[in-house]
Amino acid sequence: MQGKGAATLTLIVQHSLGHRPYWSYSFRRVQQFDSALAVLDRGLVTVTDKETLSAEKLDTLRVAGRAEEAVALGRRLISQSYSGPQIWVKLAQTFQDQGKLPEAIDTLEQGLKSNPNDEDLREKLASIFADNDAPQHAALHYKWLTDQFPKKASYPALLANMYLELEFYDRAMYWYRGNVP
């Protein structure tokens, strides 16, 4: 039965819809990273949304422990004007996984230059600051996120947490009570 399942999976991968990211996710889930990358590579030849698939390829390389390849791909994509937020966030995550926080922060700040109103870039940058003893920087980004996305309940709480770390107790309580701009 295993042979039949493998043959079926191979047939599915060779199907014309094999470039869809969810096939790649299936392979990643069972740690068949080369197969996941092959699906994404095939898709990069046939689809118009190359940026999304490229970002997934970058992330698959990262998850597979091939950080150098992920960084090289991310830098190449950025130099080729694929500057969507996904590329920047996934490249920054690769740097963060390697313990290269200055590179991760620089990557996100560069991404914000070309995508200044992107929620994911700003949230990732804020979380890196928050996780690395820089609550004053995290608070600035969480404040921006709270102002831009007032209905998202997590941002006021995260902002309040940063104010609490900074010992701005009145401000923290203001945001914990659910006040929005």
Instruction: Encode pLDDT of 120-161 as tens digits.
Output: 999 999 999 999 999 999 999 999 999 999 889 899 999 999
Whether 6 is covered by a domain: the verdict is no
Whether 131 is covered by a domain: the verdict is yes
Whether 29 is covered by a domain: the verdict is no
Task: Give the C-alpha separation, 177 to 179, whole Å.
Answer: 6
Looking up residue 171, the CATH number of its domain turns out to be: 1.25.40.10
Whether 76 is covered by a domain: the verdict is no
Range of the domain at 125: 119-181
116 exposure class (CB count in 10 Å sphere: 0-12, 13-18, 19+) = exposed
* Assigned token pair, 92: 């920054």
Whether 59 is covered by a domain: the verdict is no
Instruction: Encode pLDDT of 51-92 as tens digits.
Output: 777 888 888 889 889 999 999 999 998 988 777 899 999 999
pTM above 0.95, yes or no: no
**What is the number of domains present in the chain?**
1
Q: Give the dihedral of Cα atoms 118, 98, 100, 147; nearest 10 deg.
A: 20
